[in-house]
Amino acid sequence: MNKANDVFMNTYHRLPVVFTRGEGVRLFDASGKSYLDFSSGIAVNCLGHNNPALVDAIKKQAEKLIHVCNYYQSDVSEAFAEKLIAVSGLKKLFLCNSGAEANEGAIKIARKYSFKKYGKNRHRIVTLTGSFHGRTISTLSATGQDKFHENFGPFTEGFVYIPPNDAAALEKALNDISVCAFFFEPIQGESGVIPLSADYLKKAAEICAQKDILLIADEIQCGLGRTGEFFACNRFNLTPDIATLAKGLCGGVPAGAVLAGEKTADVLEYDHGSTFGGNALAAAAGLVVLETITANGFMDEIKEKGAFFADKLDDLELDGFDISRIRGAGLMLGADVSHEDHGLLEKALEKGLLFLGGGPKTLRFLPPYTITREEIIEGISILSEILPKTA
């Protein structure tokens, strides 16, 4: 059990459990104990564990071709790219390996677009306080949370932070002629499931269009069908200039993507790349994810199951448990508890339920899309055993 601490650097506080296999929404530890997984590896295992179609595609692709470098072409990588473009409604994409790498790509594209049109002074990127965009030096710089900015500087320059859902602050920040992009998570994940409002995003899109400022949506946690729409932005009929995806994109095989619309599709000119990006194995897995989530009625089911889940959380609140302010959309839900540390993740683990924290007091739920209503009820019942009562 303690082996992990001997070999891994101190990056994660790992809970005392060793998983050896998974099946659907359940994970199993070395002793065979079963856990309901309402975290999906932080929104990665979107089709659940050991999904037959996904496993079959990965097996078959591994027997044919795992990787060719990007100096050549691969049939499956092209098929994946074509499908992703068709589903997203954007024009071209760059494939990579992680969320941070996708966001790095988006930042480079935004700056180059603006430099070429308006000169090198137009480099600033407005982001939001409470955002999380990754762990590289530039994506940490884009991340509007002080706690991530200790000890690793100097950071990439040119990021400006404003509070989310504050239209006046947004208008003021975008009035600066050195701003080239507004970069945001439509629903902030890491800081506690904080959705941006429809009005706020519409305002942002309006100003950005007027000033030729690029609208960059970090859809890494909230996109890919999680809200019941392909992009969380699509809930408000909004199409960003650039969108980034990762996490569930290839169902657990590491992958990321930068998707660009008309304005920025051809900004890169053989000046960016990634060895593993769009690798045949990841692409084969990604095709299964895209085919599954675009099947008739699949995303509607996500919306309906999400509403069912939110209602059940709401019932807990009415029953006097210490849980309130239920937020989110589809199967990305958060609810606050009143104290910072109840040890709830550990208590839930003991009872066989996994979920995530977010911000100081938020319980964050990101279950696989394949979750059933019975599994939601089962998880909520475990929650009711561990949540303190309010009175």
- Does 221 engage in binding with ligand PLP (CB under 6 A)? yes
User: Smaller CB distance to ligand PLP: residue 43 or 284?
Assistant: 43
- Does 143 engage in binding with ligand PLP (CB under 6 A)? no
Return the range that interacts with ligand PLP (CB under 6 A); candidates 73-81, 106-114, 131-139, 377-385: 131-139
Stretch 20-49: interaction string toward ligand PLP, x if CB under 6 A: ----------------------x-------
Torsion angle, alpha carbons of 323, 324, 326, 327, to 10: -110
End-to-end CA distance of the chain: 38
> Are the C-beta atoms of residues 147 and 132 closer than 8 Å to each other?
no
**Could you give the CA distance from residue 295 to residue 290 in angstroms, rounded to a whole number?**
8
User: Smaller CB distance to ligand PLP: residue 140 or 283?
Assistant: 140
Return the range that interacts with ligand PLP (CB under 6 A); candidates 61-69, 97-105, 115-123, 358-366: 97-105
Looking at residue 297, its amino acid is: G
154-181: string of b/e by CB count within 10 Å (b at 16+)? ebbebbebbebeeeebbeebbeeeebbb
Give the Å distances, CA to CA, from 75 to 72, 204, 294.
Answer: 10, 39, 21
Smallest separation, CB 108 to ligand PLP (Å)? 15
**Active-site residue flag, 218:** yes
- Does 98 engage in binding with ligand PLP (CB under 6 A)? yes
Handedness of CA 380, 382, 383, 384 (dihedral sign): positive
SS3 string, 166-219, reads: CHHHHHHHHCCCCEEEEEECCEECCCCCEECCHHHHHHHHHHHHHHCCEEEEEC
Q: Which residue is nearest to ligand PLP (CB)?
A: 99
Q: Select which of 94, 148, 159, 218 is catalytic.
A: 218
- Does 192 engage in binding with ligand PLP (CB under 6 A)? no
Backbone angles phi and psi of 161, in degrees to 5:
-105, 135
Return the H-helix or E-strand segment holding 356.
Answer: strand 356-358
- Binds ligand PLP (CB under 6 A): choice among 111, 133, 226, 305: 133
User: Smaller CB distance to ligand PLP: residue 24 or 134?
Assistant: 134
Return the range that interacts with ligand PLP (CB under 6 A); candidates 168-176, 215-223, 305-313, 377-385: 215-223
- Does 220 engage in binding with ligand PLP (CB under 6 A)? yes
Looking at residue 248, its amino acid is: G
Smallest separation, CB 260 to ligand PLP (Å)? 17
- Does 229 engage in binding with ligand PLP (CB under 6 A)? no
The set of residues, in sequence order, having a beta carbon less than 8 Å from that of 306 and lying 6+ positions away, is 227, 228, 328, 329, 330, 331, 332, 333
- Does 127 engage in binding with ligand PLP (CB under 6 A)? no
- Does 189 engage in binding with ligand PLP (CB under 6 A)? yes
User: Smaller CB distance to ligand PLP: residue 218 or 336?
Assistant: 218
Return the range that interacts with ligand PLP (CB under 6 A); candidates 96-104, 170-178, 319-327, 377-385: 96-104
Number of Cβ within 10 Å of residue 63's Cβ equals 8
Give the Å distances, CA to CA, from 185 to 190, 193, 287.
Answer: 10, 10, 24
Return the range that interacts with ligand PLP (CB under 6 A); candidates 162-170, 185-193, 235-243, 288-296: 185-193
- Binds ligand PLP (CB under 6 A): choice among 76, 100, 128, 140: 100
- Does 185 engage in binding with ligand PLP (CB under 6 A)? yes
> Are the C-beta atoms of residues 367 and 310 closer than 8 Å to each other?
no
For the annotated catalytic residues, the residue numbers are: 132, 218, 247
Residue ranges in contact with ligand PLP by CB under 6 A: 42, 98-100, 103, 132-134, 185, 189-190, 218, 220-221, 246
